[in-house]
Amino acid sequence: MAKKSEQKKTIKVPFQVTVGDLAKKLDLGVAEVIKQLMTDGIIAGINDVIDFETATIISNEMGFETELDQSTTQEVLTLEKLDEILKLEKENQTNLESRPPVVTILGHVDHGKTTLLDTLKKTHVAEREAGGITQHINAYQVKFKNRLITFIDTPGHEAFQTMRERGASLADIAILVVAADDGVKPQTAEVIKFVLEKNIPTVVAINKIDKPAANINKVKQELAENGLLVEGYGGKIPVNEISAKQNTGIEGLLETILLMADVEDFKSDPCRAALGVVLEAHKDPQKGPVATVLIKTGTLIKGEDVLVGDIFGRARNLEDYTGRSVNEAPSSSPVTIIGLPTVPQTNDVLQAQSENCDKKKRKLLSQLKVHGPSKIGAISSKQMIANIDEALSNKLSIVLKADVQGSLEAVQQILHTIDSDEIKLNIFSTGIGDVTERDLQVAQTGQAIVYGFNVLPTSVASRMATEMGVPIKTFSIIYELVESVKNDMSALLPPEIKRTDLGRLKVLAIFKNMKKGMVVGGKVMNGKIVKGENLEILRDKEAVGKGKLVQLQHNKEETSEVKEGLECGLSFEGKDKIAVGDTLVCYKEEEIKRKV
Chain centre distance of CA 235: 33
Confidence of residue 123 (pLDDT cuts 50, 70, 90): low
Instruction: From residue 527, give the alpha-carbon distance in Å to each of 11, 26, 545, 587.
Output: 77, 76, 21, 10
Phi, psi of 171, deg, nearest 5: -100, 150
Query: Can you tell me the distance from the alpha carbon of 519 to that of 511, in angstroms, rounded to the nearest whole number?
Result: 5
Question: Which CATH superfamily groups domain 100-265?
Answer: P-loop containing nucleotide triphosphate hydrolases (3.40.50.300)
Task: Report strand pairing: 173-179 vs 202-207.
Answer: parallel
Q: Which residue has the higher pLDDT, 521 or 122?
A: 521
Least confident segment among 217-231, 389-403, 536-550 = 389-403
* Three-state secondary-structure class, residue 473: strand
Mean pLDDT over all residues of the chain? Answer: 81
Residue 392 · residue 94 · CB < 8 Å: yes
pLDDT over threshold 90, residue 560: yes
pLDDT tens-digit map of 263-302: 999 999 888 889 999 888 777 778 888 889 999 999 999 9
Least confident segment among 64-68, 220-224, 530-534 = 64-68
First to last CA, the chain: 43
Least confident segment among 65-74, 170-179, 327-336 = 65-74
Q: Which CATH architecture has domain 393-491?
A: 3-Layer(aba) Sandwich (3.40)
Contacts of 431-435 with C-beta under 8 Å, sequence gap 24+, read 431/399, 431/400, 431/401, 431/402, 432/401, 432/402, 432/403, 432/404, 432/405, 432/408, 433/401, 433/403, 434/401, 434/458, 434/461, 435/401, 435/461, 435/472, 435/474
**Domains in the chain: boundaries:** 9-68, 100-265, 275-389, 393-491, 496-592
pLDDT over threshold 70, residue 389: no
H or E segment at 86?
helix 79-92
Please state, as a whole number, how many other Cβ atoms lie within 10 Å of the Cβ of residue 213: 9
pLDDT over threshold 50, residue 428: yes
Report the topology of domain 275-389. Answer: Elongation Factor Tu (Ef-tu); domain 3 (2.40.30)
Bridge partners of 61, per DSSP, are none
Least confident segment among 28-37, 117-126, 520-529 = 117-126
pLDDT tens-digit map of 213-266: 999 999 999 999 999 999 888 888 999 999 988 889 999 999 999 999 999 999
Per-residue model confidence (pLDDT) at position 554: 94
pLDDT over threshold 80, residue 137: no
Per-residue model confidence (pLDDT) at position 54: 78
Residue 549 · residue 532 · CB < 8 Å: yes
Least confident segment among 27-41, 106-120, 369-383 = 369-383
Per-residue model confidence (pLDDT) at position 233: 85
Torsion 257-246-104-198 (CA) sign: positive
Query: Can you tell me the distance from the alpha carbon of 503 to that of 507, in angstroms, rounded to the nearest whole number?
Result: 13
pLDDT over threshold 60, residue 133: no
pLDDT over threshold 90, residue 126: no
pLDDT over threshold 90, residue 356: no
Per-residue model confidence (pLDDT) at position 8: 74
Please state, as a whole number, how many other Cβ atoms lie within 10 Å of the Cβ of residue 8: 14
Query: Can you tell me the distance from the alpha carbon of 475 to that of 466, in angstroms, rounded to the nearest whole number?
Result: 19
Per-residue model confidence (pLDDT) at position 169: 63
Query: Can you tell me the distance from the alpha carbon of 305 to that of 308, in angstroms, rounded to the nearest whole number?
Result: 10
pLDDT over threshold 70, residue 89: yes
Give the ranges where 107-149 is alpha helix by DSSP (H). Answer: 113-124
Q: Which residue has the higher pLDDT, 5 or 30?
A: 30
pLDDT over threshold 70, residue 370: no
One-letter identity of residue 214? A
Torsion 23-26-27-28 (CA) sign: negative
Domain 100-265 and domain 393-491, same fold? Reply is yes
Confidence of residue 390 (pLDDT cuts 50, 70, 90): very low
pLDDT over threshold 60, residue 20: yes
Report the topology of domain 496-592. Answer: Elongation Factor Tu (Ef-tu); domain 3 (2.40.30)
% of residues, the chain, pLDDT over 70: 84
pLDDT over threshold 80, residue 359: no
pLDDT over threshold 60, residue 494: yes
Please state, as a whole number, how many other Cβ atoms lie within 10 Å of the Cβ of residue 286: 6
Per-residue model confidence (pLDDT) at position 1: 45
Q: Which residue has the higher pLDDT, 389 or 243?
A: 243
Per-residue model confidence (pLDDT) at position 76: 60
Q: Which CATH architecture has domain 9-68?
A: Orthogonal Bundle (1.10)
Per-residue model confidence (pLDDT) at position 502: 96
